Amino acid sequence: MVLATPLALLLILQQTPVPPIAGEALAHRNGRVPPAVIAVLAPTPPKLDGVLDEPAWATASPASEFRRDVPSDGKPAAERTDVRVLYDKDALYIGARLYNAKPKGVSRRLSRRDSFEVFNDVFFIIIDSYHDHSTSYVFGVTPAGERRDATITQDGAGLDPSWDPVWEGKTKVDSLGWVAEMRIPFSQLRFPETPQQVWGIQFRRDIRAAGEAVDWAWSPRTEPGMISKFGHLLGLQNIPPPRRLEVLPYTLGKTTRTQGADPNNPFDDGSVLGASAGLDLKYGLSSNLTLDATVNPDFGQVEADPAVVNLSAFETFFEERRPFFIEGAGIFGFGPGGSTQFFYSRRVGRPPTLSAEGTAAYVDQPTATSILGAGKLSGRTKAGWSVALLEAITGKEYAQLANGSGQLLPDQAVEPLGNYAVGRVRRESREGSSAVGAIFTAVNRRLDDPAFDPIRSAAYTGGVDFLHRFHQNAFQLKGYLGGTHVRGSPTAMVQTQRASSRYYQRPDQSYAQLDSSATSLSGAIGGLTFDKAEGNWIYTLATAFTSPGVELNDAGFQTDADRASFKAVGGRRWLQPGPVFRSLDARLEFSQRLNFGGVSVGQSLSTHVSGGFNNLWGMSVDLGYGLRTLDDKATRGGPLMSRPAGYHVGGGFRTDGRKAVSGGLDGFVTGDDQGTKGGGLSGSLAYRPQGSTDLTVTASYMQFHNAEFYVTQASDPTAAATYGGRYVFGALDQDNLNITLRLNVVVTPNVSIQWYAQPFLATGDYADFSWFATPRSYDFVRYGTNGSTIAYDEAGNRYAADADGAGPAKAVTFANPDFRVRSFRSNLVLRWEYHPGSTLYVVWNQNRGSQISDPAYNGFRDMWGIWDDPYQNILLVKLNYYLNF
């Protein structure tokens, strides 16, 4: 549908080749000459056994003289490290002798693959094979043989541990310390076609006993950038372009059993069997461009989203967990980030937009839109542009219906056929001090059913961004500018204008009026940031805007529009150890937000202090104060309401993560001058002994009292002060208890068992219902006073609230908003990589839960009652096989 656009862009970017970069090998950076290591051609491939006894290793000069990154930035490493590099026509070989004066102190802790959060002895090689100073590949191994791999983008700004290349690593602990021997196939890397290669390279070692992280190509931590300051790998010559066709077909069997299911339900009588198949494909179009494709992907082995209760008007953001979309996701990063993203991959395969629930006695509603196929093209063009293009097609979805007798009714369409296209390009300067880029997204839907009238037919976004570092990279200026355009029927556009991000229907503003005949909506977004990122004293000045018409939620994620903001941050950091602290960071921030009508909707002052003690414990303290302003979202489309002045105090500590038992504790209190208050406490405890098992338990409890919380609204001509709308609020008491358990048992580096479980409990008790009385104030009138009435219908579980009793005002009726939600989500996964790149998954998933109108909070007694709730068990077996041609 729009695939021609990314392909045309790629052809344009390929036109102008850049000159070879070999001459850059001896370039100076910030007055330092980057170190170099020379790869030696091996006559025969070395045997990977953790012993560097092949004669070829002795012919390679070692890379040594590592220096500390943490702590005591720049001082010599506590232990010596020698790294040698070999290569042949197929692969790069790394041999590292990692000395340790006390070999018994070498950690033998075995964790699952890519457990970057676990502090362990690790040796890393980081390769910038494009030599673009922006993108690199990470390969790491621990003394116990655990592998860690990832990609790093944007000169160190983004780490993506989801990348799982096929490579080998062997280790051995001996009387001198330990040895790491690695084989990295060239087929897993991307590099330019040139007879003589010059790559950026970094060797890094984490020394657990000393609490150190040391680098071969050292640079001060006070300097920005990472990949642009690597050393150089020389000596690679005449590497033949590798054959890069990788196919990963899978087959899957699944059974679902649901307690309490209706045996007359023709779609689910409590026991459902299913099977499917599909494949992933990776093909090297050239030595530096790769096509990834997937057909009928299944993500049954992926951990479920955590349970939440969202009482706001805004969508909850969930992290992407699906491997196809996680891998390489960093290159799609653009612009503001956080709660505003141009591309949010979970839009592909999202739950259907429409719902058929309640239209028939039995409804089989899809929980996700099927992905018929998707492809990604990524790499670096001859003209020096980093490129990422994504195209995905999602299927038209139907809900199956049946009457009370089980007789099938006509299917109901709930999601149209859709096409998603995303393109991202970026180019960095040779020295890594400047970058320019662009992004576009396009979503097109085939609205071939009258039911699809409320859905937007098309959505397009585009933007450009830049970064420039100057004065020896001490200062940085970056910015972005973009626009959005959506199309659809008048019905769809009215919904878009009334969405919570913009509320065009607000009665007390005139700059963004709702147009019931509109068939499109457009907007602009941008920002500019100036940083002093070098040295101990640092600061940031940033401004950004999002016009009222910006709509990113078709391909991206957005909760707010109609905003202009300014932020100023200044701070001091101490990176050299002192008498108490190993490092310390203190920041002060002021922020101001306005809407496009010039109304101040947020103004705050905050400070953050964090540091690490010399015993490797850590701490943080946060203080914040928000000034009284106005709120244009509190009445959810109604008039402005006062935002009370409020405060936030928080802090926490963590213990030494090297120990077998470690943990942390965090807490906060918050409140405002109108009676809203709350607080929370969260803690974590990890048990990671030497061996193959680790258990982590995190728990949090939060309690809030909201003096006035939005409930509902209704039209009421007698409410002249609030423009003919009656806005109902209530006092709300909330309790939230959340426990998460994670158990990892690593039998071997290729066999692991992972268990995730989350018991969750949340209650909400509403009382003292009132209506908003005066715009731009915090004035409310409680129902049941001043002649008003409120009545509760126990049988219907509904309220009827009347502002003037027997007077002309119409009563507002609404369902009892009290709630108690509890759930249990768990995922048990056996993962066996039975052949390099080929994996067997056995998954058991159990979900339980209930929701009732009783708001009573009984803590752990309620939590224990989860076992009385109905459950759903899913058993899944998935097998894939890696083929490399």
pLDDT for res 12: 39
| Residues of the chain with confidence (pLDDT) below 70 | 1-31, 116-118, 243, 287, 337-339, 430-432
User: Coil, strand, or helix at residue 156?
Assistant: helix
Q: Could you give the C-alpha distances from 812 to 707, 788, 790, in angstroms and in order?
A: 20, 12, 9
Amino acid 600 reads S
Three-class secondary structure assignment of 122-149: EEEEEEECCCCCCCEEEEEECCCCCEEE
Amino acid 563 reads R
Continuous segment of H or E residues that includes residue 483: strand 475-487
pLDDT for res 281: 92
Closest C-alpha among 149, 191, 161, 127 to residue 327: 161
Amino acid 126 reads I
Cβ pair 400, 267 in contact under 8 A: yes
Continuous segment of H or E residues that includes residue 249: strand 245-258
Amino acid 517 reads S
Q: Please count the CA atoms within 13 angstroms of the CA of 794 that sit on its side-chain side.
A: 1
Q: Rounded distance, CA 654 to CA 304, Å?
A: 27
pLDDT one-digit tens code per residue, 437-454 = 999 999 999 999 999 999
> How many C-beta neighbours within 10 Å does residue 204 have?
19
DSSP3 helix / strand / coil % (the chain, rounded to 5): 5, 50, 40
User: Coil, strand, or helix at residue 336?
Assistant: coil
Continuous segment of H or E residues that includes residue 94: strand 91-99
CATH architecture of 34-234: Sandwich (2.60)
Most distant CA atoms of the chain, gap in Å = 99
Buried b (16+ CB within 10 A) or exposed e, 808-839: ebbbbebeebbbbbbbbbbbbbbbbbeeebbb
Residue 95 contacts by C-beta under 8 Å, 6 or more apart in sequence?
46, 52, 57, 60, 83, 84, 85, 86, 179, 180, 181, 182
Strands 362-364 and 371-380: unpaired
Q: Rounded distance, CA 64 to CA 810, Å?
A: 82
Tokens of 672: 């405002």
Q: Please count the CA atoms within 13 angstroms of the CA of 429 that sit on its side-chain side.
A: 11
- Supply φ then ψ for residue 55, to 5 degrees: -60, -30
For tokens 């995922």, name the residue.
827
Cβ pair 702, 679 in contact under 8 A: yes
Cβ pair 765, 795 in contact under 8 A: no
Closest C-alpha among 293, 286, 199 to residue 248: 293
Residue 660 contacts by C-beta under 8 Å, 6 or more apart in sequence?
687, 688, 689, 690
Cβ pair 386, 425 in contact under 8 A: yes
Q: Could you give the C-alpha distances from 637 to 507, 631, 708, 812, in angstroms and in order?
A: 8, 11, 17, 17
Tokens of 450: 């009258």
pLDDT for res 10: 43
Tokens of 546: 């999002």
Residues facing residue 435 across a β-bridge? 428, 467
Domain limits of the chain? Answer: 34-234, 243-286+691-885, 319-543
User: Dihedral sign, CA of 577, 580, 581, 585?
Assistant: negative
pLDDT for res 709: 97
Closest C-alpha among 303, 416, 302 to residue 352: 416
Tokens of 814: 């609404």
Q: Rounded distance, CA 333 to CA 476, Å?
A: 18
Residue 731 contacts by C-beta under 8 Å, 6 or more apart in sequence?
705, 706, 707, 708, 709, 766, 767, 768
Continuous segment of H or E residues that includes residue 8: helix 4-13
Closest C-alpha among 192, 380, 196 to residue 287: 192
pLDDT for res 319: 86
Residues facing residue 1 across a β-bridge? none
Q: Rounded distance, CA 725 to CA 715, Å?
A: 5
Q: Rounded distance, CA 401 to CA 362, Å?
A: 6
Buried b (16+ CB within 10 A) or exposed e, 559-582: bbbbbbbebebebebebebeeebb
Q: Rounded distance, CA 127 to CA 92, Å?
A: 11
Strands 168-174 and 177-185: antiparallel
**In angstroms, how far is the first alpha carbon of the chain from the final one?**
31
Burial class (CB in 10 A: 0-12, 13-18, 19+), 782: middle
pLDDT for res 637: 96
pLDDT one-digit tens code per residue, 34-47 = 899 999 999 999 99
